[in-house]
Structures are given as structure tokens and as C-alpha cells.
A and B are shown apart, each in its own frame.
Chain A
């Protein structure tokens, strides 16, 4: 019951935040210096098409009405026509969304799990060599400059050794082959995902490791750990079943706090590996002055950020019965 109220409260907050973002973006694109029409309508369009689009986007009306039209268009999925692709923006980004979610979710879950596991080991061997190697390794990989790491991985594993594909998400031979089944296609995507995933993983797991380590050290001082020891439980049981689950909670929070950071990293990774996701689409559209696409990609990313935040919050509240806001 309490949990449901908490989720409801967060939902309301998130909706408000989203409306603020929506409004700020509207004002930005309409009131910034320059002509808003040229920003939303492709200059190469035929006059009739342009006329129709201007009408559909409400650009011929006063600002207040424009805003209402903008909101209505948003909820009915009309974001205008992409200058570069010449098709409705919503179709372009809708196709990119699953790719981004695939890469993003896999990388976060993988790095959090590995980070939690290694952090647990490091804290258990506190002060020993294992611990220092892990801590320093985590610090170093975490602070590597992401696009550079991506380039190095491409250079070494893609070019020198030639083990992995270095761009895109699929290879055409597999996808054009009528005999290729679902599994072959899936494996093909997985094969293309290895390098981008490694990049994101290397950057992120260190942060989780460090948090898990210090949280674990805190937890091991708790009274119930002493109790468990006094009961004569196996050290391994104390570590894995009594201490680790509680110690992992701050990691969940930090996943939430570092989401913005991960999204930035995701956009950079997608760009370097030409992974067809929304982040890359945003970077590309900005460099091409494809305003409608840029606006819509940004909105979609904002939605992804807000929803992931909600998921993390709910997960946290669910995992920790002490937390009921």
C-alpha cells in the first residue's frame, strides 16, 4: 500500500518534470534568435508541403496557440519531418529506441553485477593485494576518457587483431540471407555489441565496485553480522547471504544517480561505434542542423532518463523495506 503511494508520488513528480522539459524545449526552439519556421520546416520542401507542415505544427498561429498545438502534436506523435531522412521524425527515432535500450540496459546490468561481485571480494580481502589491485584498477578504468577508450578498443581489437566488427549493429550478409534464422540474427547483433558493451562496461563497473566495497565494509561492522558470527555461521554465508544483499542497496541508488552520466556515455559510445541508437541520432542531427530530429531525440532521451530513474527508485523501495517515503 505504502509502496503504491510512493510510486504514485514519484509518477506525479516525473510528469511535472517532463512538462517543464517539454515547455523549456518549446520556448528554446521558438524564441531563440533566428526564424522558427526555418528551424522546423525543411528549406528544400515544396511550398505546398511546407505550407501543410507549417499548419500542422501551428507555426502560423500566435505563441500561446502554438504551444497547445505543440502539446497536442507531442501526444499524437507528430514531431515534424526530419530534414535529413525526409520521413516523419517519430518513425526515425522509434526505430532507434530498442537499439539504445538494448545496449544501455545490458551495459548497466552487467557492470552493476560485476561491480557488486568484485566489490564484495575486494572488501573481504581488505588491505590485501587483491583489494589494492581491484581498487586501483577500478579507479583507473572508471576515469578513462570514454571516446578514447572506444577508439583504442577499435584500434586494437577491431583493426590490429580483427576480432570484432567496429561499426554498425548488423552485418548485411546475415540479414539479407533468407536462410538466416532468428538465432543467427540475434548472434550477429551480439557480435556487433561486444566492443560497445566492453567500452561501457569498463567505464562503469569501477564506480559500482568502489561503492560496493565501502558499503560492504560499513555493513560488516553491523551488530547482526556479529550475531551471525557468534552463531557460528560459515564465513562465506555471512558474506554472501547476510552482508552482501544489504550492502548492495547503495549500489542501486548510485545506478540512479549516475544515470545521466551513463546516458552521456551511451551517446558517445553509439557515435563512435555508429550504433544506430537515439544518442547517435541526437549527435548526428545536431551536426546536420536537423532541428526536428534533434528536438525529438532529446525529448525521447529525457523520457528514457526519467523512466529509468523511476525504475531505480521503485527497485530501491522494493528491495529495502526500511525505505517507505
Chain B
């Protein structure tokens, strides 16, 4: 039934290969339970991120970073004014948690987007140009792939001092492209053999034009489906960095909240403060992971067939 409706939807859309691929993928995605759970969780987090703008409007004391409840000077448990309690300075934990969702999305999506763009460009160049360029770029990818990104950011923090959130995002992106570029390279290698590329070459198209006009539209859907995995790793790296005390002191991320609990020695006294940020980081990772697995099914027909035989 679901299959049929999407067939009719895609009729006459052969002109847009990206869109057709997307709709076809969506049809398969809808049948995956993991994918659906992941999507629901993700929507929940997106709502949290949106709601993060509300508390500071109600009362300035709900500002996640600077708002302090005037009557509270130490960490207190959940109450009517503070549903999840307050931290050691009397700041509201719920509004910090909501702001954390916003930061997680910001960090995850922007780092993932940048690394995908970089990975796609490098993968296409390596695959299309071949020879020296290919060897050079892929060896570079190998090298970056084995480096533990968190520790790389740490050593950069040692040299450059406090990093702000956008620098962290940029560094994560710069170190997380190799996985994507390998896949895109593989895809490009097979595309290169197709007649339409040959035709474009004969027609006198330049390399740049072939890469961006003819190859890119065909690899982009694949690249964007891979974004889900990159989002996860970016969120985890930022959270871990903040947890260790090297995050951007001007942003309230979940990792930062955990760092506060840990460093102020509240982890044995304040479960209402220790539990929420950790659960949020773990759940958002899980949701992107589930989404990624569902995407895998979309991308890899072998997995799909296997599941249909059940």
C-alpha cells in the first residue's frame, strides 16, 4: 500500500534524480521501526530546542547562563518554580537543559554539514582526478581518520588557549571528513565510467563543470544521508570537550552542565542535576544512530532484502 502511493508520487519526476531518490528512500524509511523511533525522539529534541526561547521570556532568572534565582544560593531539588531544580549558583536546570538542546543541534548540524561538504568535495576530486591526486588525498584521509579527534582538539586548546564554540565546530568538521570522502570517492569512481560523463567530456565540458554539474547531483543524496552519523560524533565530541572543562564558557551545553555537576562535587548529592543532561546526550545520540541505521537500509539494498524475508 505504502509502496503504491509513493510510486504514483514519483511519476514524472525523472527529471529530478535527487528528489526521486529522496522519495524512494522515504518510502523505505517509513517501514523501519528504528527509524521511526529515532525520528520521534529527534522531533522531541527539536521541540526542546525551540522551547529554549520561552523560559528567559517568562522571567530573567530563567536565563540559562546568567539568570540566578535571588532567593537560592546553592543547588536545590525540583520545586514549583524550578521543575528540575537549580544548580550551585541557583540557575534553573530545566532552562539550561532546553538551551543545551539548541546548542547540540547547532553544533551537530553545522559540524556535520561542513564535514559533509568538505568530504564530498574531496571525495569527488580524488575519484574524478585519480592518479596522484587520488593517492595523496586518500592517504591524507587515512592519516586523519586514525587521529582521535577529541585529543586533537585538546592539544589545539593547549596551544591556542580557550576555543570558542565555532572554532570547536570547525575543528571537528576538519577532522571528520575522511569517512564521507571515501564513500563519495567510491561512488564517483563508478559514475566516471558512465556514458553521460563521457558525453560531457566529448562536448568539451571542463573538469570543474563535470564534477559540479554532472557528478555532484548524483552523489549528494548519499552524502546527506551520511550526515546523521556525523551529527552524532560532533555532538559527542563537543559534549566530551565541555565535560573535560575545555568547552566554550559562553555556551550552556549538556556537556558543560555535566562538567558543573562533576567539578562542584554535586554528583553524589544532586541526582536531579546529574541525570537529565546525560540522558539527553545519550538519547540524542541514540536517535541519530537509529536514524542512521534506517538510512543504511535505504542505501544498502542488501540489508533491505534481508529484512523483508522476515
Binding site for B on A (CB under 8 A): 13, 17, 20-21, 25, 28-29, 32-33, 39, 126-127, 139-140, 142-149, 151-152, 154-155, 159, 214, 217, 257, 259-261, 263-264, 267-268, 271-272, 279, 282-283, 285-287, 289, 291, 294-295, 298, 301-302, 305-306, 309
Contacts and interface: CB of A to CB of B under 8 A. Distances in A.
Contacts of B149: 260, 264
B282 A294 contact: no
A318 B149 CA distance: 29
Contacts of A214: 303
Contacts of B160: 32-33
A263 B151 contact: yes
A309 B146 contact: yes
B98 interface: no
A146 B281 CA distance: 10
Nearest to B268: A159
Contacts of A309: 146
Interface stretch (B23-31, B54-62, B216-224, B241-249): B241-249
A283 B154 contact: yes
Given A17-B143, A267-B148, A291-B158, 20 more contacts: A13-B142, A140-B282, A143-B282, A144-B282, A145-B278, A146-B240, A147-B240, A148-B278, A151-B258, A151-B261, A151-B274, A155-B267, A159-B268, A260-B146, A283-B154, A286-B155, A286-B157, A298-B151, A305-B148, A309-B146
A147 B143 contact: no
B289 interface: yes
| B contact face: mostly helix, strand, loop, or mixed | helix
Contacts of B285: 143, 145
Interface residues of B, number: 45
B282 A148 contact: yes
A272 B159 CA distance: 23
Contact of B148 (A155, A260, A283, A291): A260
A282 B232 CA distance: 24
Interface pairs A-B: 3 shortest CB-CB: A148-B278, A145-B281, A264-B150
28 contacts: A21-B143, A28-B155, A32-B159, A33-B160, A139-B286, A139-B290, A140-B286, A143-B289, A145-B239, A145-B282, A147-B240, A147-B243, A147-B258, A149-B278, A260-B148, A264-B151, A268-B243, A268-B244, A279-B151, A282-B151, A283-B244, A298-B151, A298-B154, A301-B148, A301-B151, A305-B147, A305-B148, A309-B146
